[in-house]
Amino acid sequence: MEASDEVEQVIDALYVSAPAGFTAARDAAAARLKAAGDKAAAKRVAGLRRPTLAAWASNTLVRADPEEAEQFLQLGQALREAHRALDGEQLRSLSHEQHVVIGALAREAVRLAEEAGTPVSEAVEREVEQILHAVLGDPGVAEDWASGRLTKAPAVGTAFPVASPDAVARAAGTRPGPGPERAPARAREAERQAEARREEERREEELRSAEEARQRALERVAEADTEVERLERDAARARAARDQAHADLAEAEKRRRAARHPRHRTDRR
């Protein structure tokens, strides 16, 4: 196996595991690669970002059923083409299929997460749905998701950059959507969602930094404990050597006194 293939397998294994253990596993993998002499691979692995819970849950779909994931990607391509062509009939059909498939995949992601021992909340399930919408609308997001290494939900607004609601409605042969009077409300809702997403990303980043700091502290504690144990062993050996030296000195003094005593009496006589 080539070194590059081995590194890809290491990275895949990291993104398969639940996010809670990602940082420790990543740092350990980077340390192993560095010890093996592959500094470039170690640097690459050390720079990997921990996925959010929703991103990890959506990644599980790719690994659990690659064929279904490929069909979902093909649905996204068909939707984008229909939007570009303003094909009303196809838009109606594919839009309905989009909602059905996204709902089913989001529920499957929840099931897979629970099966992996990491249950997720309804809020995370909704975020998985947002990720899947973005996968359908943005080829770049689709590529990241297809790799199984998506790290966070895409920014709000990556779903479908359609020409205009009126144009799509005319192509679909339906009435136009909500008029301009509802645009401010939609804008406020989009901004609220964007701010909530930014706040969540900030929390995720703070958590990642805290976990990394904790891991470094644990490593320093382990090193310090090892050093203390070594010093204590050295001290024990030194104390034993000192006690033996004192014992040898006492024995030597005893023999010296015994050796001197008879000569002293002879000298007096």
Give, for all 269 residues of the chain, the pLDDT tens digit. 566 788 999 999 999 988 999 999 999 999 999 999 999 999 999 999 999 999 999 999 999 999 999 999 998 888 888 777 766 666 677 777 788 889 999 999 999 999 999 999 999 999 999 999 999 988 989 999 999 999 998 875 555 443 334 444 444 444 444 444 444 565 566 567 667 766 776 777 778 777 777 777 777 887 888 888 889 889 989 999 999 999 999 989 889 888 887 655 555 55
DSSP 2: -
The region that residue 33 occupies, defined by phi over 0 for left and psi between -120 and 50 for alpha, beta otherwise, is alpha
Tell me the two tokens of residue 151.
């790290």
Phi-psi region of 37 (alpha: psi -120 to 50; beta: other; left: phi over 0): left
The candidate with the shortest Cα–Cα distance to 66, out of 7, 145, 158, is 145
Measured distance CA(117)–CA(69) in Å, rounded: 22
- The pLDDT value recorded for residue 9 is 92
DSSP at 116: T
What is the reported pLDDT for 181?
40
In angstroms, the Cα distances linking 80 to 34, 73, 76, 194 are 44, 11, 6, 23
211: left (phi over 0), alpha (psi -120 to 50) or beta: alpha
The answer to whether 109 and 127 are in contact (CB under 8 A) is no
